[in-house]
């Protein structure tokens, strides 16, 4: 009987790993399952071979008046194009990526049931994002919460004045980690490390291998061999009795 439990536990572990390696989160615009989307628009195109976003979502990600979240990027004046391209890429990454499984967490929110938390970003992507936005303006550090939505689009709350980007986000790390309430985790890892997620890439999606690495090194995954060893020991004890 113990050997059956060992086998079932091992199979369950493998199935869970495979599912987390290629999945879409349960959120507002995501597909139920990832798949090919040959018509993804501009900056979302790198995900066309396997995506959690539709072609329509990818087009809306590039629109300042997008219906996706009614979010106003120009809440403190017109956002520069060099800064805006990073938020477009960030949106494509969030909506389209099928390899975020290791960092998906359940949430109790009206517009989504799951979110990402502490996704390790490659250093180059975080710093280039901050560098290209450092001359822009904003009024808030956490863009997930606390806006004035009375007009249907986000505006700065009455108590928050527009300030230079670097006053709100003094470092690249603070920006990447705080702007979406810890969706991302800052790292010192370069893209060549294979241990960080890339917002910007061309060709084959490099993030699948990164997700696989973190799945194999996740705490719950490391606990599986110990569980199997415990069950094996118990099984041997029963046989010897």
Q: What is the pLDDT of residue 227?
A: 47
Which residue is listed with tokens 């809306």?
Answer: 60
Using CA atoms in the order 8, 9, 12, 17, what is the torsion angle rounded to 10 degrees? -150
pLDDT bracket for residue 7 (50, 70, 90): very low
Across the chain, mean pLDDT equals 83
How many angstroms separate the Cα of 20 from the Cα of each of 104, 124, 136, 222? 9, 26, 37, 16
Q: Is the pTM of this model over 0.85?
A: no
pLDDT digits (tens, 9 = 90+) for 105-156: 888 877 778 889 999 999 999 999 999 999 999 999 999 999 999 998 899 9
Residue 112 vs residue 202, higher pLDDT: 202
Burial status of residue 49 (CB atoms within 10 A of its CB: 0-12, 13-18, 19 or more): middle
For the residues 215-226, what does the mean pLDDT come to?
A: 57
How many angstroms separate the Cα of 227 from the Cα of each of 10, 132, 182, 233? 10, 48, 32, 10
pLDDT digits (tens, 9 = 90+) for 222-239: 444 444 444 445 544 444
For the residues 67-77, what does the mean pLDDT come to?
A: 88
pLDDT digits (tens, 9 = 90+) for 176-192: 999 999 999 999 999 99
Q: What is the pLDDT of residue 55?
A: 87
Burial status of residue 118 (CB atoms within 10 A of its CB: 0-12, 13-18, 19 or more): middle
Q: What is the pLDDT of residue 12?
A: 40
Q: What is the pLDDT of residue 60?
A: 82
Q: What is the pLDDT of residue 219?
A: 56
Asked if 25 contacts 47 with a C-beta cutoff of 8 angstroms, the reply is no
For the residues 161-175, what does the mean pLDDT come to?
A: 97
Rounded percentage of the chain residues whose pLDDT exceeds 70: 82
Q: What is the pLDDT of residue 218?
A: 61
Rounded percentage of the chain residues whose pLDDT exceeds 90: 55
Per-residue pLDDT for 160 more than 50?
yes
pLDDT digits (tens, 9 = 90+) for 57-70: 888 888 777 767 88
Per-residue pLDDT for 36 more than 50?
yes
């Amino acid at each position: 009987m113990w050997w059956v439990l060992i086998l079932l536990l091992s199979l369950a572990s493998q199935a869970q790993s495979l599912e987390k390696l290629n999945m879409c989160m349960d959120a507002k615009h995501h597909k139920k399952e990832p798949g090919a989307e040959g018509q993804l628009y501009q900056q979302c195109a790198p995900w066309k071979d396997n995506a959690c976003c539709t072609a329509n979502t990818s087009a809306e990600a590039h629109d300042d008046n997008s219906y996706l979240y009614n979010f106003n990027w120009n809440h403190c004046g017109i956002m520069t194009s060099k800064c805006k391209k990073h938020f477009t890429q960030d949106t494509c990454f969030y909506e389209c990526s099928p390899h975020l499984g290791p960092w998906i967490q359940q949430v109790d929110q009206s517009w989504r049931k799951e979110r990402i938390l502490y996704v390790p970003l490659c250093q180059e992507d975080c710093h280039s994002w901050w560098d290209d936005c450092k001359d822009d303006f904003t009024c808030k550090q956490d863009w997930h919460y606390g806006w004035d939505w009375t007009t249907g689009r986000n505006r700065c709350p009455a108590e928050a004045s527009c300030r230079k980007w670097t006053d709100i986000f003094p470092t690249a790390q603070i920006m990447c980690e705080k702007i979406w309430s810890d969706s991302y985790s800052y790292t010192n890892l370069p893209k060549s490390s294979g241990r960080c997620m890339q917002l910007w890439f061309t060709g084959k999606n490099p993030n699948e291998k990164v997700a696989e690495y973190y799945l194999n090194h996740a705490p719950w995954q490391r606990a599986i061999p110990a569980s199997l060893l415990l069950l094996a020991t118990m099984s041997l004890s029963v046989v010897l009795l």
